[in-house]
Structures are given as C-alpha cells and as structure tokens.
Structure 1
Amino acid sequence: MDTETVRTADDRREPPALLSILTLTFCAFSVTTAEFVIAGILPEVAAGLSVSIPSAGHLVTAYAVGMIFGGPVLTLLTVAIPRKPLIVALLAVFIIGNLFAAGAPNYVALLAARLISGFVVATFFAMAVVVAASLAGPGRQASAVAKVALGFNLAMILGAPLGTVVGQHFGWRATFLAIAILATVALALLVKLVPVRGVPTTGSVVSELRVLKSRDLQLALAMTAFGNAGVLMVFVYLAPLLTKAGGFAPETVPALLLIYGIGATLGNLTGGWLSDRALMPSIIGLLTSLAAALALFWLAGQFQLAAATMVFVIGALAFSVIPGMQTRVLLTGKSAPTLGIALNASAFQIAAAFAAWLGGQVIVRDLGLGLLPLVGAGVTIIGALLALLAWMRDAG
C-alpha cells in the first residue's frame, strides 16, 4: 500500500473538517466567556471578597495582562511540543485556573487564578486559528478563522449574560465553576473531533523569533492595533455615550449591546467570506467603512433611531475586519504561524488598553464625551492607511 493510499484511508477516519472547526468554535466560546463574564459579576465578586469595585476591576486587567505576555512567551517556550498534546494541555490549564477561581479563598488568589487563565488563552486561541486554517485549506482560510472567531461573538451575546445570571442567582463562584464545566465538555470534544495535522513544531526558539524580522508581519500587527483601537475606544465608553450623549434610558443599554453583538456576529461571517475573495482590498474597504461609520455616529449620535442603527453597523464592521486581519498575519508569518497569531492577540489587547486610556484622556480634558467616535474614526483611518501600505508592498 503506497503513501497516498494510507493518507486517503487516514482522512476517511477523520471527522469532517466543518465539524472539527465548529468544535474549535465551541472551545473559543468557552475561553472567551471567561474574559467577558467578569464585568457582569463584579459587584458580587467585590461583595463576596470584601473589596472595592475598582479593585475587583483589576481582575479584568489581570486576564488581559496574562494574554498580552502569555501569548508570545508561552508560544516560544512550547515550540518543540507536538501540537495536539499542547492544545489539549492549554485547555486543561484553563479549566484548572477556573476551578481555582471558583474556590479562591481571597482576592489575591482570585487575581492569580485570572492571571493563570489569561496566560494560556492567547496561545490556545492562536493554535485554534492555525489548526482551523490548516483544516480549511487554501482559499477558505478566512472563513475558517471567522467560524472560530464566532465563538468570541457568541461569548459576548450569550456567554457573558448567562454567566452573569448564574452569578447573580447562585453566587459568583458558580459562574467560574460553570465555565470550567463548559470548558471540560469542550476539551472532550477537542480530543475526539479535532485532528491536528499540517501544523509542525519548529523545535527552535530562534527560528520562531526570526519571523519578527518580517516587515510585512510588523505591518500586519500594527494594522490590527490601529485598526481596532478606534472602535474599541467607542465600545469601552458606549454606555455613557448612549445615555449621556444620546439620551437613551439606562435600561435600554443591554438591548443596544445585544444589537451590537448581533451586528458583530453577522459582520464576522461576512468579513470571512469577503476576505477569502479579496483579502487586502476587503480589509482596506472595511476599515475605511468603519471609520466612516464612527464619524456618522459622531454626527447623528444624538438622534436615537440613527444612533441605534449605527450601533448595529459599527458592531458589524468592527468584527468584519477581524478574520481578514488574522488571515493576513497567518500569511505574513507562515514560518511561525502560532507565534504570529499570539502576537496578534497581544496587539489586540494592547489596542484595547490604549483605547481605554485615550478615550479617558478625551473625556478628562473636557473635549467632550460625544467627540469619542470622531477620534476613533481618526485612529481607524491610520489602520486603513497601514493596510493600504501593506497592499502596495504586495503589488511592488
């Protein structure tokens, strides 16, 4: 029996690629629910551990810091480990971190548990993206990435609200326990349904780091940071923008956030489809459209119907660019794809931190809360210009 016959027989024993990719979607839903849900249970955590709300807010920061530093560092430390055992081990550590959080005796222990969970998430998500792209094959990579990122959308729309309800009715510890159980189910499905092939180890930290010399990868990471920072600035301060600048009643904010999440889900899938057909032109066009939408939100934000419509449009455009950006990183960092995607996740988290800081500066310097969307549009245009530069380099 020749090699090709053996490979064909092995392929027949593997689950369908779509089922494997959807399993990775469920895994992404599990880990990103843990990131979002803490915002909904902050009062319960603060009361349960006798700390202030701002101190409880540091639990969000700890998770983000773990992702920013954990992604690149852990990816480099594990270059020689076979990919399937590694992705399974990373999800197992995430489960342990959430079990530790559920039983944390004090604030410091919970802070450590959040840091541990966040430390492995960036590398896990990077591997999930790389594996999904390898299963999808050429020409369908962005759509596969979009399907994995769909777990991110569902965590925002379903995971965080459901986790908040669990925390409010059964205590915040039950929320972390529920996440651990959800991730355990995801782990069992991952072991059974996700073949990891075509994602080799390098065995060398030096060979992984060599990819950082790529100017195209550097441009792709900068494009992610600037392309997302503008809309993240608006999202961080969306509630006060809607209530103070837009005149919406506070009780309408959850419904408007749901509208944003629905737009994000549809935009994510559409962006993957577009990126598979024309990667760089679609990124440039979508970023330019996002900047225009933010500017329109600044102009029409005081009119409630227009503002509600723009919330949907901004959510759709904000997430439509993500599959293309991830795919661009995969292509420009193909000699070390997992490190590239991990760095991209770090760039996204840095963009979120920068967006929160810059938005705060706009507010405290009395430039006006309503000016935030216009500033965000300006930052987004920088991302579009970086994408245009990358496309010109390709053409050259």
Structure 2
Amino acid sequence: MLALALGGFGIGTTEFVTMGLLPDIAGAMDVSEPVAGHVVSAYALGVVVGAPVIAAMAARVDRKKLLIWLMVAFTLGNVATVLAPSFATLTAARFVSGLPHGAYFGVASLAAASLAPVGQRAKAVAAVMLGLSAANVVGVPSATWLGQHLGWRDAFVVVAFIGLATVAAISRYVPHLHGIRLTDPRTELGALRRPQVLLTLLVGAVGFGGMFAVYTYITTTLTDVAGMRVGLVPIVLMLFGLGMVAGNILGGVLADRGVDRAILGGLICMVVILAAFIAAAHNPFTAAAGAFFVGASGAALAPALQTRLMDVAHDAQTLAAALNHAALNIANAAGAWLGGLVIAAGFGYTAPALVGTLLAVAGVLLFTVTLWAARRSA
C-alpha cells in the first residue's frame, strides 16, 4: 500500500507544485503569468486524455507491469519538464506528465482493493489516495520552497526521483496481481455504456468542483478578506492539506460501511461547510479552520466515488476507476473557472464559496437522481 501511495505522492506533488511556481516559470520562460498557466491546463488535459485511452488500450497488460510502466512514463515526463528548452516544449512535457495520472490511480486502486481483507476495500483505496493528500502537506510546500530558492526546474528533479523510487518500490513490494482479471479494450469501453458509471462520474465532476472553487483563490481570500499576513498563508495551506488527509482516511472508513451513504453524506457536509466558509472567511482564525474542513469534505468523497465506480462498472473496472480522476480534473477546471467568473464580475473573493455551495447542492441532486435510477433499474 505504501509503494502504491508513493506514486500518488509524486503525482500530487507534480500536479500542484506548478501552481506555486507559476511566477518563477513565467519569468524564466519570458511569458506572462496567465500564459504560464497554460502548463497547468496542459497537465489537466493530459489526465483527461490519458485516463480513458491508456485504461482501454492497456486492458490486456499485466497490472503490476502496467503500474511500473505508467510510473516510468510519469518519470520521463518530469525529466522532459526539467530539460524543456522553450515554453512550447515545457507545455508538451506537462501534457505528457499528465497522461499516466488517471490510469495509475485507477489501476492502483484496483490493486489495493484486490489485496485488501474482506470489508476493507474502500480503506485500501483511501490508502492509495492518501499519497495524493499527503503531497499537499509535505511534497508541494517542500518542492515549492526548493523551486523558489534554487530554480523551478529543481522542483521537478525531485518529482522525477520520487517517480524512480516508486518504480523500485512497486517492483519490490507489490505482488503479482492475479486477483484482477485482464480484459480487452472493447470490454473496458463498455463502461461508457453503463448509466450508473456515467452518472457517478457526473456527480464527481460537478459536486467536487465546489472544493476547487474555493481552493484556487484561497490565498487572496485569506489576505484580502480575512486580513491574514502573507507569511501565514502557507500554514493555512498546510491545514488544508491536513484536512485532506483526515477526510481521506475518514472517507475510506465510512465508504466501507456504505458507499452510497458516504457519498450522499459527504456531499451534504460539503454544502454546509462551503456555505459556512462565506462567513468564516472574514476572520483569520475561522478562515483557517474553514480551510481545514473544506479540504476534509472534498477528500472524504474521493474513496467512496472511486469504490462506487469499481462496483457499478462490473467487468470494466479499470476504465471506470481511471475516469474518476479525469472527472475530478474536470471539477478542478470548472470550479476554478466559475470562481474566477464571479470574482471578475465584482462579487468579491467570498463569491467562489457561494459558487462551490451551489455546485455541491447540484452534486446532491445529481446523486439523488443516480440512486433513483439504480433502484428503478434493479
């Protein structure tokens, strides 16, 4: 489990450290910061493209070998990032780095679930996702500090070494995954014909966007609305990451007791927490506490959504599990975009929390429809 989580730690670090180093990348590449933001979009696009394509085309590949090759590709993408001579090649390198993201988490989640004791599948999935959450507490702050003081490329050197360490750890500690039945591309693509798979993906793409609507603009919210000193912002960001770790662990425990209840309850909690953050954002202490709970509410959903997708996909589990991360990246992009729209319209930096609340409400309604459709088909 730790070997699989190490890959998630590397993926989480490379995904989020780019945001903290955008000014440095923009200055080094002689482009504006909004243009430099295209490297973030390129990575997200790589996730969305790579998740279904790799999961379907590699359906016949032994799952342990596939995990190793995915991390090799991830490492090479980050090496290409370090060596990129121009902004165009850097953008292409970030796209390549994102390609293995969704497929890795999908296969790693299946691997963890197949190795877990009876009744602990969701906890095992949460253990894999824990690497992604831990990256926001340790990996991203450390790599950002390193990139700011030694040069942005050095941050991705660290990520490349994490990738190599993951390849070695998986080779050594993950057994051959005989419990996962190999399929074929046609079978995996059949997941896209299952209404429950598509509805669950839609719940994640919409409901999860609430967390990202707040997180994207959290720094300015803390300084301009809560009146917090800039030097204290990294501490709050670490609290957000700790909230993700706590939520991820709690989400795995609750999902093992009932996946559907865990998703519905998590979405309702997210509605309450995001709505409360609108008021909490005006005080530095309540804003810091709110950041912790926003992170926790979002991360608590991930193991349950991942487990439900594996359950409803039947014989197309790899593609469905991989698509979960494509859906979450769509939530990331949509939440950030909608939050930016209300700020640009002059509604202020608490408006993204209102947008997030509405997205979470939409997630509750969509999941209610999903449960109704499941009962009707049954």
Query: Is the CA contact (8 Å cut-off) linking 1:71 and 1:122 kept in structure 2?
Result: yes
Cα shift at 1:272:
0.5
What secondary structure, in the 3-state scheme, does the structure 1 residue paired with 2:333 have?
helix
Deviates more, 1:53-62 or 1:64-73: 53-62
Out of 182, 194, 205, the residue aligned to residue 214 of structure 1 is 194
Alignment correspondent of 1:16: none
Could you tell me how far apart the structure 2 residues matched to 1:385 and 1:198 are? Answer: 36
The correspondence for 1:260, drawn from 223, 240, 244, is: 240
State the partner residue of 1:22.
2
The residue identity in structure 1 corresponding to 2:12 is T
Distance of 2:36 and 2:346 partners within structure 1: 28
Aligned to 2:164: 184
Q: Deviations over 1:198-235 (max 9, x none)?
A: 222212x2222222121111111111112201121111
Aligned length: 375
Aligned AA (2:119)? G
Mapped contact 2:255–2:304 kept (Cα < 8 A): yes
Task: Determine which of 170, 180, 199 is the counterpart of 1:199.
Answer: 180
Match for residue 343 of structure 2 among 351, 363, 369: 363
For 2:307, the equivalent position in structure 1 comes to 327
Residues in 2 aligned to 1:98 and 1:337: alpha-carbon distance in whole angstroms: 28
Residue number among 220, 225, 234 corresponding to 1:240 in the alignment:
220
Measure how far apart 1:375 and its partner are. 2.3
Q: Distance in 2 between matches of 1:366 and 1:48?
A: 32
- Which of 269, 275, 279 pairs up with 2:249? 269
The CA RMSD over aligned residues, in Å, is 1.6
Q: CA-to-partner distance for each residue in 1:319-345, whole Å, 9 max, x for gaps?
A: 111111111111111311110022111
The answer to which of 169-178 and 23-32 deviates more is 169-178
Contact 1:29-1:152 at 8 Å conserved across structures: yes
Aligned residue in 1 for 2:204: 224
Q: What percentage of aligned pairs have identical amino acids?
A: 37
Q: Distance in 2 between matches of 1:28 and 1:379?
A: 26
Give the aligned residue type for 2:104.
F
Given the alignment, which residue of 20, 28, 50 partners 1:40?
20
Deviations 1:280-307 (A, max 9, x none): 1121112101101111111332133222
Q: Does 1:158 align with 2:152?
A: no
Match among 282, 286, 301 for residue 262 of structure 2: 282
Alpha-carbon separation, structure 1, partners of 2:81 and 2:247:
33
SS in structure 2 of the partner of residue 327 of structure 1: helix
Query: For residue 181 of structure 2, what is the amino acid of its counterpart?
Result: P
Which amino acid letter does the alignment assign opposite residue 38 of structure 1?
Answer: T
Report the CA distance between 1:350 and its aligned residue.
0.9
5 Å-filtered alignment, 1:51-130, equals 51-130=31-110
Question: With structure 2 as the length reference, what TM-score do the two structures score?
Answer: 0.94
**Bigger Rg, structure 1 or 2:** 1
**Conserved? CA contact 1:131–1:197, under 8 Å:** no
SS in 2 for 1:202: coil
Cα distance in 2 for residues equivalent to 1:182 and 1:250: 30
Q: Residues of 1 paired with 2:347 and 2:155: CA distance? A: 39
Q: Write the distance in 2 (CA, Å) between the matches of 1:41 and 1:229.
A: 23
Higher deviation after alignment, 261-270 or 308-317: 308-317
Measure the CA separation in 1 of the matches of 2:147 and 2:99: 24
